[in-house]
Structure 1
Amino acid sequence: TMKTVCFLLSLCLASPASAYTAPKPNKPTTISHRRAFLSKIAGATIAATSAVTLNPNSASAADDNLQNVYWGAGCYWHVQHEFILAERSILGRKDNELTSLTGYAGGFKTDSEGRVCYHNFQSIADYGKFGHGEVVGMTIPESKVEDFAVEYFKLFGDKGERADPMDKGGEYRSLLGLPGGSKHPAFAQVEAAGKARGMTLVDGKGNDPDTLGKRLVYVYDSNKFPFYQAEFYHQYHNDFLTPAYGKEYNNLAEAALDDGRIKITGCPDRV
């Protein structure tokens, strides 16, 4: 896909110690020093992404029983943007409280170092080969799972398809992850939100095939099929099908890296 081409091209153009070339934030000196440090350790440092807790610094709304969940509907760039909007509107979260991050889930494997990575020339921990799909993980109150499910199913529109049907393969399948999967206390409400949009929810077995044309969503137990954070390059990224989201949105990645909400994965990246 175009996304894959652009990512791989970015890796070719980047030297091993190059810094990410996003617009400079308000405090370029602090960030650039952090970038220089991170670029040195990126190859050796691996985030424990399967155990990453995406909790915001302070849950400003409905601070009850925060849970890690994830949602997938094709390319994760667009999905992340929509869930950032949802975190703001449903929970009233500020920029430093946002938890939505792109990542991978739904497969059985990692490499020997616990990594799951985007497609790369080195063939390191390729998420597609490991059976994972693209998702957006977040930490939200259990009482708000239904509200976020409603937003999730809006992503499929009237036709019940992901935004870009040209993205094909199990990597782009429709999936969601809840603690306990279909046994989650709010699953009945999640399923009802899906049915209202003509979608059918079924238990995922892991490494499941594409859902294109099926109006189908796989449901995973996020305790058994955890979330693996994607590379920095893929966080707060513009989507190819919509106008650019703007530098204010893109720069949220810098802030999240600086305060630790985004981790270094050890995968080929632009950090």
Structure 2
Amino acid sequence: MLGTHSPSCGQRLEGSCWRGSAQPAAQLRQHQHHIPCSAARDTVASEGMAKAGVRQAAAAAMLAWAAVSFQPANAMSLPTPPQTHARPQTEDVTPVWFGNGCFWGRQKDFVDAEKGIGRKGENVSAVVGYAGGPKKAKRVCYYTGLPGSVYEDLGHAEVVQVDLKGNAEASEDQMRRFAETYFSQFRKTPKGMQRLDPQDAGPAYRNVVGIPGGVRSPLFKILEEQNVNKMQLVEGQGNVYQRGKPSEDDKVNVVYIMDSEKMSFHLAESYHQFHNGIGKPFPADYTRSQKQTAKKVGRIYSTGCPDLPF
């Protein structure tokens, strides 16, 4: 995330990773929300260590809010998300998605990339969400969701979705720009190319790209072209936990290429959209104005999942 990491990405709301002065409330424990313990591993990059305290404080605030806001599962009533959120379109649109770590700062990168190709206001398409999981669910939520809805448990990763618009030539040019942005979000290490927030570890933060047709898509050639540091581009089938082990884990120098027509994108909660980076506040025209515009045109909306007040 270009050094701007989420306090809520890479934290677990249960077990030994709880950093607060007391354990979470019973309601939270029964929901079994989690955040990878590897956030505290010794291999954390220097900028991640510097921001660890900020992320933990924010995670504690999220827990405190949730503890007084959530009721047991059998007493909770969440709105059912609308089945469709179609937006008027006057041109061909092909959604694609990219993931490599926490999606907060990543979204800002793709919004900037869109502005670089002339998109402004209502034409900016970048939104954050969850994708790359083979399991189906009525709704897909962050770790504060009910059992059976948590994105990591369903095999998804955090991603940013953007639209390719226009004819084939225009779409290929846009894909080239977005792929360039994506691969710029890695840095060289002795073990290969690593994303910029290795402290947020686990399958929920693995490197994924979703394009129609996956590795058999004409767009895959553009990914190969922009992959200047020769990361391993492997066909992804979606993560499944087998005896507690992920079939597609978070690996350095590896990007899973998914067929976006088989692996659906699920919009993330509103509070995740157009969010500040940790230690790097983004301009108000991004966090407020652009977010309000996205709401106005129906790009972001209530998903039926718990929406936190920050």
Alpha-carbon offset, residue 135 of structure 1: 0.4
Contact 2:134 2:237 in 1 (8 A): no
Q: Which amino acid aligns with 1:125?
A: S
Contact 2:145 2:305 in 1 (8 A): no
Structure-2 separation of matches of 1:103 and 1:232: 10
Contact 1:168 1:210 in 2 (8 A): no
Runs of 4+ in 1 over 6 A off after TM superposition: none
Structure-2 separation of matches of 1:256 and 1:243: 22
- The counterpart of 2:95, out of the listed 62, 68, 74, is 68
**Structure 2: gaps of 5 or more residues:** 1-5, 12-55, 70-76, 166-170, 240-246
CA deviation string 1:124-172 (max 9, x = no partner): 5000111100000111132221221111101113341111100010000
Structure-1 separation of matches of 2:89 and 2:129: 22
Identity of aligned residues (%): 35
Map 1:139-178 → 2, pairs under 5 A: 139-141=163-165, 142-143=171-172, 144-159=174-189, 160-178=193-211
**Structure 1: gaps of 5 or more residues:** 17-41
Contact 1:169 1:209 in 2 (8 A): no
Q: Which fold has the larger relative contact order, with Cα–Cα distance below 8 Å and residues 6 or more apart in sequence? A: 1
Alpha-carbon offset, residue 119 of structure 1: 0.3
* Larger Rg over CA atoms: 2
Map 1:125-140 → 2, pairs under 5 A: 125-140=149-164
Structure-2 separation of matches of 1:140 and 1:7: 35
Alpha-carbon offset, residue 8 of structure 1: 7.3
User: Which stretch of the first structure deviates more once superposed, 170-179 or 141-150?
Assistant: 141-150
Structure-2 separation of matches of 1:121 and 1:267: 6
Structure-2 separation of matches of 1:231 and 1:11: 17
Structure-1 separation of matches of 2:85 and 2:177: 23
Contact 1:117 1:124 in 2 (8 A): no
- The counterpart of 2:295, out of the listed 244, 253, 257, is 257
- The counterpart of 1:9, out of the listed 61, 64, 67, is 61
Hey, what does 2:115 align to over in structure 1?
88
Hey, what does 1:184 align to over in structure 2?
217
Q: Is the partner of 1:157 in helix, strand or coil?
A: strand
Q: Does 1:204 align with 2:256?
A: no
Structure-1 separation of matches of 2:275 and 2:143: 17
Contact 1:8 1:121 in 2 (8 A): no
TM-score by length of 1: 0.77
Alpha-carbon offset, residue 248 of structure 1: 1.8
Q: Is the partner of 1:237 in helix, strand or coil?
A: coil
Q: Which amino acid aligns with 1:257?
A: K
Call closer, same or farther: CA 1:122–1:115 in 2, change over 3 Å. closer
Alpha-carbon offset, residue 9 of structure 1: 3.4
Alpha-carbon offset, residue 96 of structure 1: 1.6
Alpha-carbon offset, residue 226 of structure 1: 1.1
Hey, what does 1:20 align to over in structure 2?
none
Alpha-carbon offset, residue 52 of structure 1: 6.0
Structure-2 separation of matches of 1:138 and 1:121: 25
Structure-2 separation of matches of 1:79 and 1:47: 27
Q: Is the partner of 1:265 in helix, strand or coil?
A: coil
CA deviation string 1:174-225 (max 9, x = no partner): 000001111111211211212x123110100111433332x01000000000
Contact 1:8 1:120 in 2 (8 A): no
CA deviation string 1:11-30 (max 9, x = no partner): 743786xxxxxxxxxxxxxx
RMSD: 2.6
Structure-1 separation of matches of 2:158 and 2:211: 15
Q: Which amino acid aligns with 2:175?
A: V
Hey, what does 2:14 align to over in structure 1?
none
- The counterpart of 2:139, out of the listed 115, 125, 128, is 115
Q: Does 1:104 align with 2:130?
A: yes
Call closer, same or farther: CA 1:169–1:52 in 2, change over 3 Å. farther
Contact 1:45 1:264 in 2 (8 A): no
